[in-house]
Structure 1
Amino acid sequence: MNNFDFYNPTRIVFGENTIAQLDQLVAKDAKILLLYGGQSAKKTGTLDEVKVALGDRQVQEFGGIEPNPTYETLMKAVMLIREQQFDFLLAVGGGSVIDGTKFIAAAALFDKEQDPWSIMENYGNNIKQALPFGSVLTLPATGSEMNNGGVVTHKAKQAKLPFRSPLVYPQFSILDPVKTYTLPERQIANGVVDAFVHTVEQYLTYPVDGMVQDRFAEGLLQTLIEIGPKALAEPQNYSVRANIMWAATMALNGLIGAGVPQDWATHMVGHELTARHGIDHARTLAIVLPGMLQIRKQSKAAKLKQYAERVWLITEGSDEQKIDAAIAKTEAFFEQMGIGTHLSDYGLDESTVAPLIEQLTKHGMITLGEHGDVTPEMSQEVLISRL
C-alpha cells in the first residue's frame, strides 16, 4: 500500500426527516445564500422545508445552476455575494449544485484583480480561502457532498475542468433518501453509473496490496450492481434508495482512493464529450469506460482479473477470457440501467472524434491514467472503438 494522508471533515447527517437539523447545523446569525438548480426543489417542497428549518435567519435564493454548472451562471452568484456580503452558502440539490457551490465559495473570496476561471486552470491549487457552506443532497451520484472536488464548464471556452482544494469540503451534508423518490429514472440511472465509474477509477489500476481499499471498492460495485436496477423498478423502496445514496457518497469521499493509484482517464475524456455535445456526465462515462478497459487491458490485467473474479464472480476460462467477459458485463450493466454505451447512441459519428481530441490536448490532458500512458492518440483509439 502507498503512503497516504486521509482527511475528511464533512459531517454527514443521514436519514429521513433530517432537514430539520439545519437549525442546529447553521449559525443563528448566518446570512445565507441558498443555491439550487431547476424547479424540482421547489415543486417537491424540499426548498420550503429547508427554509422552514432555517427559521428567521437571513436567507436569499439563487436558482438556475445547471446539471453541468457553468462558469457564466456561477459568476452571477459570486457577484451577488460580493455585493450583499453573504457569509454562508447552502446547496440544495445534486452534485452539480454542490460542485457549483464549491466554486462560488472559492471565487467569492478570490483576488478581484484575477479571473476566477484561473481556479479551474490551476485545478484549485491557487485557492487561498473559501466561504463556509453545507449541502442538502437530493440526487446521489457524484459524492460531492463529502469531498473537496468539483467540475465546472465554461460555455464560451467549451471547456469542462476539475478542481479540488481542502478549503472546499462541505461543513456538513444532509442525506435524506426520501428526497430521491421523485427523481426521474434518467437521473437515478445516471447516479448509479456515475458512482460505479467513480469506484472503478480508483480500483481498476494495478495492485499495491491495498486489501482494505480493494474489498471496500468491490463491495460498493457489487452493491450498485445488485440494487441499481431495483432503484429503477421500485422508486419508493427506502432501503434501496438509502443504500444507493450512501454507496455514491462512499465512492468518492477519499476512503477507497487512499493509498492506491488512481486512473481518471475515462473522466477526462468524458468531460470533453459533455463540454462539446452536452451529453450527461454519467452517460459519457458509460461510453468511454468499456473502450478504456479493453484497449488498456494489458496494463490493467492483474486488477481486471481480480475484478472479473471478485465482482462478477467469473471463474471459467483463461485470464483473457475472464477479463473480456468482465468488460462485457460492465457494458451490459450500463445498458441494463437504460444508458447507451456508444457514440452513435447520441447521434455522434467519426467526424466528432478529432475535435474532441483537439480539445483534450488543448486542456493539457496528454498524459492520463495511473501510468501516465494514455496519450491523445490512445484516447482517439478509445473513442473510435465506441462509434
Structure 2
Amino acid sequence: MFNFSYQNPTRIVFGDGQISQLGQLIPAGSRVLLTYGGGSIKQNGVYQQVMDALKSHQVLEFSGIEPNPGYETLSKAVALVKAERIDFILAVGGGSVVDGSKYIAAAALLEQDGWAILEKKARIKAALPLGCVLTLPATGTESNANAVITRQSTQQKLAFSHPSVYPQFAILDPKVTYSLPAKQISNGVVDAFVHVMEQYLTYPVNAAVQDRFAESLLQVLIEEGPKALNEPENYDVRANVMWAATMALNGLIGVGVPQDWATHGLGHQLTALYGLDHAQTLAIVLPALMQQQRATKRDKLLQYASRVWGLQQQDPERQIDEAISYTRAFFEQMGVPTRLTAYGLPASSVDELMAKVMAQGMAKLGEHGDINYNVSRAIFTAAV
C-alpha cells in the first residue's frame, strides 16, 4: 500500500426529511445563491422543501445549469455572485449542478477569467462556501473536491480539483430520487460503478481494505441497480444506491492505491464531440479498455472475476473474458448500451475522436501511463 494522507471535510446528512436541516446548516444572515438545473426540482417538491427550510435566509436563484455544466452558462452565475455579493452557494440537483456550483464558488474569487482554472491550471486561493442537496446519485461530487466543466465553443471538457470546493455539507434524501426517469437512475449506477473500477482495476499493492471495500460497492451496485429500475419507490434500494455512489468517489477507496482514469479521459471526448451522457461514454469505453489492457491488469482482472462475479475457471484467460462479458452485460441490463454504433456513431468516428485525443495531448493515460495514442485508437476501435 502506498503512503497517503486522507481527510474528507464534507458533512453527510442522510435520510428521509433531512432537507429541513438546511436552515441550521447554512449560517444565519448568509446571502445564498440557490443553483439548479432545468427546473425538475419544482415539479418533485424539492424546491418547496428547500425554500421552506430557508425562509429565514436571503435567497437568490440561478437556474439552467446543463447536464454537462457549461462555462458559458456558469460565467453568468459568476457575474451574479459578484454583483449581488453572494456569500454562500447551495447546489440543488445532480452531479452537474454540484460541479457547476464548485466552479462558480472558485471562479467568483478569482482575479482572472474562471476558465483559467481548467485550461491554465490557475491557482485557486479560496472559494465561496457551498453545500448541496443531492437529487441524483451518480458522480460522488457531493463529497469530493473535483469538478468537470464543458466549454461548448471549443468542444472542451476539462476537470479541476481543489480542497476549497469540498461541499461543507451534503443532504442525501433517497426519497427525492423516486421521481427520477429510469435513464438517470441507469446512468447513475453505471457512473458509480466505473468510479470504483477506475480506482480498483489497476495492479495489486496489498491494499486489502481498499480492495474489499471497492468489491463490496461493486456488488451492491450490481445487486441494487436493477432493483432501482424495477422498484422505483423502494426506499432501502434507493438508499443503498445513493450511499454507494457517494462512497465510490469520496476518496476513501482511492487512498494508498494506483488509479487509472483513462476510461474517463477518453469518455470525455465522446461527450465533448457528440454530446453523449457521461455514463454512456463510460459504458462504451470501459469494456473495450479492459480487453485492450488485459495483460497489464491481469492480476486484478482475475481478482475482480472471482470476488465480484464469483467466476471460477480453470483457464485464467477465459475467466477474464467472462468478467469483461459480465461487465458489459450489466451495463446493458441497466439500459446503457456499450457500443458506439448503438448511439448512431459509425466506425469513422474513431478518427474524429483520435483527433480530439491528440489535440488534448492525452498521450500517457492509465495507471502505468502506457495508454498512448495507438492504444487509445485500439480501444475506440474495439468499442465500435
Length-normalised TM-score, structure 2: 0.99
Per-residue deviation, residues 144-203 of structure 1 (Å, max 9, x unmatched): 000000100000010001110011100000000000000000000000000000000000
1:115 is displaced (CA, Å) by: 2.5
Is 1:288 paired with 2:285? yes
Per-residue deviation, residues 77-136 of structure 1 (Å, max 9, x unmatched): 00001111100000000000000000000000011xx2211111245x621110000000
Q: State the partner residue of 1:370.
A: 367
1:355 is displaced (CA, Å) by: 1.7
State how far apart, in whole Å, the 2-side matches of 1:69 and 1:26 are. Answer: 24
3-state SS in 2 of match to 1:299: coil
Q: State the partner residue of 2:157.
A: 160
Q: State the partner residue of 2:65.
A: 65
3-state SS in 2 of match to 1:56: coil
Q: State the partner residue of 1:40.
A: 40
3-state SS in 2 of match to 1:141: coil
Greater shift, 238-247 or 344-353, is seen at 344-353
Is 1:242 paired with 2:239? yes
State how far apart, in whole Å, the 1-side matches of 2:174 and 2:17 are. Answer: 9
3-state SS in 1 of match to 2:154: coil
State how far apart, in whole Å, the 1-side matches of 2:120 and 2:367 are. Answer: 20
Kindly provide the amino acid, as one letter, of the partner of residue 170 in structure 1: P
State how far apart, in whole Å, the 2-side matches of 1:291 and 1:189 are. Answer: 20
Is 1:92 paired with 2:92? yes
Q: State the partner residue of 2:377.
A: 380
* Uncovered stretches (5+) of structure 2, i.e. residues with no partner: none
Q: State the partner residue of 1:83.
A: 83
Length-normalised TM-score, structure 1: 0.98
Q: State the partner residue of 2:113.
A: 115
1:317 is displaced (CA, Å) by: 2.8
Q: State the partner residue of 1:349.
A: 346
State how far apart, in whole Å, the 1-side matches of 2:308 and 2:203 are. Answer: 16
State how far apart, in whole Å, the 2-side matches of 1:128 and 1:18 are. Answer: 32
1:45 is displaced (CA, Å) by: 1.4
Contact conserved, 2:23 with 2:56, CA < 8 A, in 1?
Answer: no
State how far apart, in whole Å, the 2-side matches of 1:52 and 1:360 are. Answer: 47
Greater shift, 350-359 or 167-176, is seen at 350-359
3-state SS in 2 of match to 1:256: helix
Kindly provide the amino acid, as one letter, of the partner of residue 313 in structure 1: G
1:356 is displaced (CA, Å) by: 1.3
Is 1:270 paired with 2:260? no
State how far apart, in whole Å, the 1-side matches of 2:253 and 2:45 are. Answer: 35
1:223 is displaced (CA, Å) by: 0.5
Kindly provide the amino acid, as one letter, of the partner of residue 239 in structure 2: A
1:293 is displaced (CA, Å) by: 0.3
Q: State the partner residue of 1:135.
A: 132
1:297-376 matches, cutoff 5 A: 297-376=294-373
Per-residue deviation, residues 197-235 of structure 1 (Å, max 9, x unmatched): 000000000000000000000000000001110000000
1:375 is displaced (CA, Å) by: 0.7
* Uncovered stretches (5+) of structure 1, i.e. residues with no partner: none
Kindly provide the amino acid, as one letter, of the partner of residue 187 in structure 1: Q
CA gap of 1:122–1:6, structure 2 versus 1, over 3 A, is farther
1:55 is displaced (CA, Å) by: 1.5
1:258 is displaced (CA, Å) by: 0.4
State how far apart, in whole Å, the 1-side matches of 2:311 and 2:154 are. Answer: 45
State how far apart, in whole Å, the 2-side matches of 1:238 and 1:385 are. Answer: 39
CA gap of 1:122–1:312, structure 2 versus 1, over 3 A, is farther
Q: State the partner residue of 1:12.
A: 12
Q: State the partner residue of 1:3.
A: 3
State how far apart, in whole Å, the 2-side matches of 1:35 and 1:201 are. Answer: 30
Q: State the partner residue of 1:74.
A: 74
State how far apart, in whole Å, the 1-side matches of 2:102 and 2:301 are. Answer: 34
Is 1:192 paired with 2:192? no
Q: State the partner residue of 2:30.
A: 30
3-state SS in 2 of match to 1:350: coil
RMSD: 0.8
State how far apart, in whole Å, the 2-side matches of 1:190 and 1:377 are. Answer: 29
1:56 is displaced (CA, Å) by: 2.2
Is 1:144 paired with 2:136? no
Q: Among all aligned residue pairs of Structure 1 and Structure 2, give the percentage whose two residues are the same amino acid.
A: 59
Per-residue deviation, residues 234-260 of structure 1 (Å, max 9, x unmatched): 000000000000000000000000000
Kindly provide the amino acid, as one letter, of the partner of residue 83 in structure 1: A
Q: State the partner residue of 2:219.
A: 222
Kindly provide the amino acid, as one letter, of the partner of residue 132 in structure 2: S
